Amino acid sequence: MTEDETYSASEIDSLLHQGVDKADIGYIIIDKAGRVLVWNKWMEQASGKRKDQVLNFPIAEIFPEIRDNRLEEAIANALERGMAGLLSAKLHRAPPLSLQRVDGSAAPLTNPVIILRPLVGVEPGHHGCLIQIIDETTSATREKTLRAQAITLRAQEEQLRTLFEAINDTVLLIDENGRIVALNDTACIRLGGKKATMLGRPLLELLPNSNALTYRRHLDALTASGTPQRFEDTLGDDTYLISMYPVPNGKGAIQRIAVLASDITERKVFEKRIFHLAHHDTLTGLPNRAYLLDRVEHAIAVAGRMNRRLGLAFLDLDHFKAVNDTLGHDSGDALLKTVAGKLTSAVRASDTVARMGGDEFVILLEPAGHNDDIARMMGRILKALDLQWGADNEAIRVTTSVGIAIFPDNGNDARLLMKAADTAMYAAKSEGRNRFQFFSEEMTTQTLLRLHLERDIRDAIHKGEFELYYQPKICFESNTTCGAEALIRWQHPERGQVAPSEFIPLAEETGIIVEIGAWVIEAVCKQIAEWIKAGRTPVSVAINISPKQLFSGNFVTLFTDCFEKYQVPLKFVQIEITESTVMADSTKAALILSRLRELGVSIAIDDFGTGYSSLSHLSRLPIDVIKIDRSFVAGLADRSENLEIINAVVSLGRSLKMIVIAEGIETDNDVGVLTDACCHLGQGYLFAKPMPASDLEHWLDIRGHLGDCWGCTRHSSSNRDSQNHMLKLCQ
């Protein structure tokens, strides 16, 4: 042996520690060249050969029988492939070994049990094999036990190997030097080579330079921190999710690194399609309201740091209703497409044009420049949008009114800028239309009205001016009520009933919504408790929860304490949160929602399709119900450009085992479209308007309902059966 091939005393001690646990059977440890490293006492007594007579000698010289193909192959498998093996009379018949008894007589082991186990050394490249020899004549019970263990080991090994090869993901195992020590067939296909030529090669050499740099960065991070790494990478036209996991040795050091690459190309395409559908107007292809608000907030953040001005122009077509009423909706749609094209051509590359809905458009001017520059641009736009629409004998003149707000002069967030621009646009209309108007201080009357409204909201809570109305949810399959949504109403002593759209946004902005939300929760608890006390079967109630309320810090405690106070089971309540609320802090939201769900509360995502969520986000959240935003349902009676979005959302919800509700249903045609899309539940004026609790009781007595929140998978078995039945529809 050369000096490079000898093993250190510490490594031999390590191998002995792994191999020699008991001394009532034979233990032999050989190195990768087949030389004996360990020869225990049992072997000395059984063979008559002392340790100093066999150490560092090839085992084939000590046991000529080793040349038997069965044993030789088993040793080779252990040394070269790291595979455990078992040779015995009842399995793979072992060759007879000549051993010597304690009394000095020679006795061959005619039915020996030989167990082979691969061993890993401390130094790289040093490995060996542990050979255990059992005399069946004195160890029948031991053989039976070990044989069963070996069979189990082999079966498990075969199962793992089958899984390793059958899995459609790329799976590799690399050593501490980055060389491939194992890979499956999928990895060979995707890396474009044969397994034999790839084993032992550095993984990074098989990757394009750009990919190799990314892999190297994450491998270094894993080696330095010991924590798994996850990242996305592209190879050709495909996108992969790469996961790297450390595989430690017995001492905690990283010995191997497992690399898994999952093809997520189709998922990314689907997510991109869903994102585009949810954030772009299907008619014009322009960004929609949700996308624009996000873009404006980002632009404000950048402009604030750079000390720049931004402009927000709110455009509304004059006489658009006349086009729809006289020329028809198809002509109106064609007009909107034309306007979108002209606006896109009229602005700079840095500007953003969005359709807010109907005949309203917004232009984000980034940067804004001087007011004179903005005025010249608006002049060109007004000229381009001064159209004679329709045939000569029935042409309608269509013009545009524009309101302009400037950051930071007229507001420091998207909502204030939008409100200022909208106010200026109405001023332009009141001045005669077909003109633009900058927001001015004279328009601050609206601000004063806002302050009065804020004061009145605070007083309304304490004066008992709020009331809850309930709007039923209908199961499309049974045409039966399966819950209701609690909606707040405000009866102002002077102004009469104030629309929620007028005071809820202000309550959100000022933080009063937290106090209002607490009032709503208690009012719902009281109402359900009254139904139970009166002997009525309670209808499950959905409560809208604002982001400020959800993230208030003690929401779960306040929520559960209220239900405990009124002795109302949490299974009768469902909370609704908007998609944008979840995505504002998805990690924190997931923790809060998980705690509520564990307590039995059903979770619904409201206004789905208007936020920023992806498949990976939804799959990680404890969600039971998806509510399709009313903006995608509205207008189905006249045109069906939103049908693709509805089909995509229902398909998404069904694949994630969630109930899908469509809100804002107003026509039988809406119902037909939604049931064809396999939507589960519906809510809207077609079925019932929001009503006081007393009217709801009468309504339920006539219509009946399915009982407590069958839409939640964690409730009674009958409810689960109902839900499962619904989930199977259209599958």
The ranges assigned to domains in the chain are 9-162, 170-263, 276-439, 449-728
What integer pLDDT is reported at residue 589 of this predicted model? 85
What integer pLDDT is reported at residue 720 of this predicted model? 42
What integer pLDDT is reported at residue 710 of this predicted model? 42
Average pLDDT over residues 260-286: 83
| Domain spanning 9-162, CATH architecture | 2-Layer Sandwich (3.30)
- Tens of pLDDT, residue by residue over 283-334, are 999 999 888 998 999 999 998 888 899 999 999 999 888 888 778 889 999 9
Q: Which fold has domain 170-263?
A: Beta-Lactamase (3.30.450)
Torsion of CA 275, 280, 285, 289, to 10 degrees: -170
At residue 333, the 3 state secondary structure works out as helix
The C-alpha atoms of residue 135 and residue 113 are separated, in whole angstroms, by 7
What is the CATH number that goes with domain 276-439?
A: 3.30.70.270
Q: Is the pLDDT of residue 495 over 80?
A: yes
- Phi-psi map region of 178: left, alpha, beta (phi>0 left; psi -120 to 50 alpha): left
What are the angstrom distances between the C-alpha of 75 and each of 66, 67, 85, 699? 9, 11, 8, 81
The C-alpha atoms of residue 648 and residue 614 are separated, in whole angstroms, by 13
Residue with tokens 């807010």: 356
- Tens of pLDDT, residue by residue over 524-534, are 999 999 999 99
Average pLDDT over residues 218-228: 88
Of the CA atoms within 13 Å of residue 338, those in its CB half-sphere come to 17
What integer pLDDT is reported at residue 300 of this predicted model? 92
Do the two domains 170-263 and 276-439 of this chain adopt the same fold? no
Pairing of strands 396-407, 436-438: parallel
Asked if CATH classification 3.20.20.450 holds for the domain at 449-728, the reply, yes or no, is yes
Q: Which residue, 639, 641, 650, is CA-closest to 676?
A: 650
The C-alpha atoms of residue 711 and residue 574 are separated, in whole angstroms, by 10
At residue 635, the 3 state secondary structure works out as coil
For 340, other C-beta atoms within 10 Å of its C-beta total 19
The C-alpha atoms of residue 308 and residue 406 are separated, in whole angstroms, by 10
Q: Which residue, 96, 128, 138, is CA-closest to 114?
A: 96
Alpha helix ranges (H) inside 167-288: 185-191, 195-198, 209-225, 265-279
- Tens of pLDDT, residue by residue over 431-463, are 788 999 998 866 656 556 766 888 899 899 889
Pairing of strands 573-578, 541-544: parallel
Residue 20: pLDDT band (50, 70, 90) is low
Lowest mean pLDDT among 38-52, 106-120, 316-330, 544-558: 106-120
- Tens of pLDDT, residue by residue over 591-645, are 899 999 998 899 998 877 665 555 556 677 888 998 888 888 876 656 566 788 8
Torsion of CA 5, 10, 14, 15, to 10 degrees: 30
CB 465 within 8 A of CB 490: yes
What letter represents residue 97's amino acid?
L
Average pLDDT over residues 34-50: 82
The beta-carbon contacts of 721-726 under 8 Å, at least 24 apart in sequence, are: 723/659, 725/477, 726/475, 726/477, 726/659, 726/680
Lowest mean pLDDT among 37-41, 268-272, 419-423, 589-593: 268-272
What integer pLDDT is reported at residue 709 of this predicted model? 42
